[in-house]
């Protein structure tokens, strides 16, 4: 595309001005910091929480505790850090809910609107009675009437392969009368996103920009889209840890921020209250009921996402806890908050404790994900370093791998049909990089192309070199064991979490003779 120089200059100046404005807004919207004691919780109690998370939960990425509107503790397990956005998975749903509430407040739709009315050109020729009865309210509270989730990404019916996601949603049977059957249903949230875009002419991301993101100082959020250019709604939003805390604090404050009512208080009350029952176990935070894209919790309410992304809102404690993580047992993380933090939240300030505060500060500054254990060297290192191992056929399209362990900067080198990529390795530490990962290392991680990647390596035995790979914009990390036996290489791998198997298929290779 040809653009005249004057246009380029205008775009550049506009971008600079917008960036300066966004930075000012972010600074004004940043949550104030405070000592824990000033807000009624002891530093030693928070330290106990952090120590328990650090030793007992493999996969903590970050946390932030907000009490009485002040951040009293925050930490990131390196290579995770404060500036890097993190994918939220289903915690995205609470942002989509906010967009719906704002659109309703602007008179663009109502809770009782029939879903079919927004998409007359994509409705079935003869919609069922239950589908005709489905309303916006049913999408919000996961009461669509579906017995199973519609398949939007990969429809079972081959005739739907070329259909839009909206058509695929409408084609799925509605077995129950809407409003009578709870089913956690991410495609329902996609439909909310599609409805907001239909009535506003903007994606949810663009619609929320001036109404939510800019006032809260949420900079450069990104959100994945369907092939039709509609934000996924149910997942795919990436923001920073403090951005999660800011949305939680906004809801805790009944929609008010810096003296302005950003979200109607009535919407906050409705969205975060019990709208439908979904279980009866007193010990499960997934059996306490559901609101409008917010879960009821044993304490307060929350938004959450797969593998441990949390926005815990605790009105009875005037507190918000934001957490990002990559865990298999999501309940265990909440249990840690309930058991370690909530009993320590007092109604009045506590005496300052500088000794405990220093201990907490030191602990927070030293948080790190566990690197590959073992030795930085082995008698075998010089033999295999720089040698290529051709791999057998594999689903990830990797043709050959090499470990460069004798250079100043050790690296894992991956060769595919299209290119060769080099991933720097820290020995006993993390080495973080982004450049050159397209079609390379993310084939091992199963994450989108060109992620940030941090890597560490160590010899766990004389003939086994372990590489640990973390994608700090996601909850994922992988461990790869390179087992050397003469000219033979066996490559085993495992992911910490996955929507499918966590074990990676074994791949074998042979040294390529020079």
Say how many Å lie between the first and final Cα of the chain, rounded. Answer: 46
**pLDDT at 120 (0 to 100):** 95
With cut-offs at 50, 70 and 90, classify the pLDDT of residue 396: confident
Do the bridges between strand 431-433 and strand 453-461 make them parallel or antiparallel, or are there none, so unpaired? antiparallel
Greater confidence (12 vs 293) lies with 293
With cut-offs at 50, 70 and 90, classify the pLDDT of residue 449: low
Mean pLDDT of 61-83: 98
Which range, of 124-138, 140-154, 249-263, 437-451, averages the lowest pLDDT? 437-451
Mean pLDDT of 106-124: 97
Which range, of 70-74, 151-155, 381-385, averages the lowest pLDDT? 151-155
The overall average pLDDT reported for the chain is: 91
**pLDDT at 5 (0 to 100):** 29
With cut-offs at 50, 70 and 90, classify the pLDDT of residue 6: very low
pTM of the model: 0.92
**What superfamily would CATH give domain 381-511?**
Calycin beta-barrel core domain (2.40.128.20)
**pLDDT at 17 (0 to 100):** 39
CA angle, residues 24, 242, 334, in degrees to nearest 5: 165
Given a cut of 90, is residue 23 above it in pLDDT?
no
Percent residues over pLDDT 70 in the chain: 91
Which range, of 35-44, 204-213, 419-428, averages the lowest pLDDT? 419-428
With cut-offs at 50, 70 and 90, classify the pLDDT of residue 444: very low
**pLDDT at 453 (0 to 100):** 92
With cut-offs at 50, 70 and 90, classify the pLDDT of residue 397: confident
Q: How far apart are CA 152 and CA 228, in angstroms?
A: 12
**pLDDT at 28 (0 to 100):** 66
Residue that has been written with the tokens 């889209």 in this structure: 225
Mean pLDDT of 251-266: 98
Given a cut of 50, is residue 476 above it in pLDDT?
yes
**pLDDT at 26 (0 to 100):** 58
Mean pLDDT of 450-463: 92
Q: How far is CA 75 from CA 28, 49, 78, 249, in A?
A: 21, 12, 9, 18
**pLDDT at 154 (0 to 100):** 84
Given a cut of 80, is residue 384 above it in pLDDT?
yes
Nearest Cα residue to 263 out of 248, 274, 275: 248
With cut-offs at 50, 70 and 90, classify the pLDDT of residue 27: low
Mean pLDDT of 61-82: 98
User: Which residues fall within 8 angstroms of residue 205, CB to CB, at 6 or more apart?
Assistant: 221, 222, 223, 231, 237
**Which tens digits make up the pLDDT trace of 322-374?**
999 999 999 999 999 999 999 999 999 999 999 999 999 999 999 999 998 99
User: Which residues fall within 8 angstroms of residue 135, CB to CB, at 6 or more apart?
Assistant: 111, 112, 113, 114, 115, 178, 179
Torsion on CA atoms 189, 172, 277, 243, rounded to nearest 10: -10
Q: How far apart are CA 120 and CA 114, in angstroms?
A: 11
**pLDDT at 18 (0 to 100):** 40
Alpha helices (runs of H) in 396-510, residue ranges in sequence order: 442-445
Greater confidence (402 vs 160) lies with 402
Mean pLDDT of 409-422: 91
**pLDDT at 20 (0 to 100):** 43
Percent residues over pLDDT 90 in the chain: 85
**Which tens digits make up the pLDDT trace of 166-207?**
999 999 999 999 999 999 999 999 999 999 999 999 999 999
Domain 85-239 in CATH 2.60.40.1080: no
Which range, of 126-140, 212-226, 429-443, 466-480, averages the lowest pLDDT? 429-443
User: Which residues fall within 8 angstroms of residue 374, CB to CB, at 6 or more apart?
Assistant: 458, 459, 460, 461, 466
């Amino acid at each position: 595309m040809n653009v005249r120089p004057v246009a380029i200059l205008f775009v550049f100046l506009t971008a600079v001005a917008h960036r300066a404005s966004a930075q000012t807004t972010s600074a004004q919207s940043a949550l104030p910091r405070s000592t824990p004691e000033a807000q009624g919780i002891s530093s030693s109690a928070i330290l106990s929480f952090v120590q328990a998370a650090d030793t007992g939960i493999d996969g903590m990425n970050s946390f932030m505790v907000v009490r009485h509107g002040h951040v009293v503790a925050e930490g990131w397990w390196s290579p995770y850090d404060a500036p890097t956005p993190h994918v939220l998975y289903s915690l995205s749903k609470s942002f989509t809910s906010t967009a719906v509430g704002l659109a309703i407040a602007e008179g663009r739709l109502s809770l009782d609107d029939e879903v079919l009315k927004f998409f007359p050109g994509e409705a079935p020729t003869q919609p069922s009675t239950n589908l005709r009865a489905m309303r916006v309210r049913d999408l919000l509270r996961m009461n669509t009437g579906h017995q199973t989730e519609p398949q939007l990404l990969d429809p079972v019916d081959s005739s739907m392969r070329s259909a839009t996601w909206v058509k695929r949603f409408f084609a799925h049977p509605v077995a129950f009368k809407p409003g009578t059957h709870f089913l956690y249903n991410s495609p329902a949230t996609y439909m909310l996103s599609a409805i907001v875009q239909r009535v506003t002419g903007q994606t949810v991301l663009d619609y929320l920009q001036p109404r939510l993101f800019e006032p809260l100082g949420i900079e450069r959020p990104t959100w994945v889209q369907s092939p039709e250019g509609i934000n996924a709604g149910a997942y795919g939003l990436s923001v920073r840890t403090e951005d999660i805390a800011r949305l939680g604090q906004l809801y805790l404050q009944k929609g008010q921020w810096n003296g302005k009512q950003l979200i109607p208080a009535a919407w906050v009350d409705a969205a975060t209250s019990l709208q439908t029952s979904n279980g009866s176990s007193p010990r499960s935070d997934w059996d306490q009921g559901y609101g409008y894209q917010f879960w009821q919790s044993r304490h307060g309410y929350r938004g959450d996402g797969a593998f441990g992304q949390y926005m815990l809102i605790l009105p009875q404690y005037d507190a918000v806890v934001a957490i990002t993580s990559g865990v298999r047992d999501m309940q265990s993380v909440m249990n840690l908050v309930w058991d370690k933090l909530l009993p320590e939240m007092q109604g009045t300030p506590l005496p300052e404790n500088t000794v405990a505060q220093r201990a907490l500060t030191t602990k927070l500054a030293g948080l790190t994900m566990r690197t590959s254990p073992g030795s930085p060297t082995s008698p075998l290192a010089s033999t295999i370093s720089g040698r290529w191992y051709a791999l057998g056929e594999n689903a990830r399209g990797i043709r050959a791998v090499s470990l460069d362990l004798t250079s100043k900067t050790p690296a894992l080198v991956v060769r595919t049909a299209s290119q060769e990529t080099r991933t720097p390795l820290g020995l006993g530490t993390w080495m973080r990089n982004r450049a050159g990962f397209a079609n390379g290392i993310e084939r091992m991680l199963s994450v989108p192309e060109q992620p940030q990647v941090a890597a560490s390596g160590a010899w766990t035995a004389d003939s086994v070199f372990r590489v640990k790979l973390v994608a700090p914009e996601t909850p994922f990390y992988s461990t790869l064991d390179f087992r050397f036996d003469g000219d033979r290489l066996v490559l085993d791998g495992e992911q910490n979490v996955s929507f499918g198997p966590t074990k990676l298929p074994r791949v074998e290779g042979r040294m390529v003779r020079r």
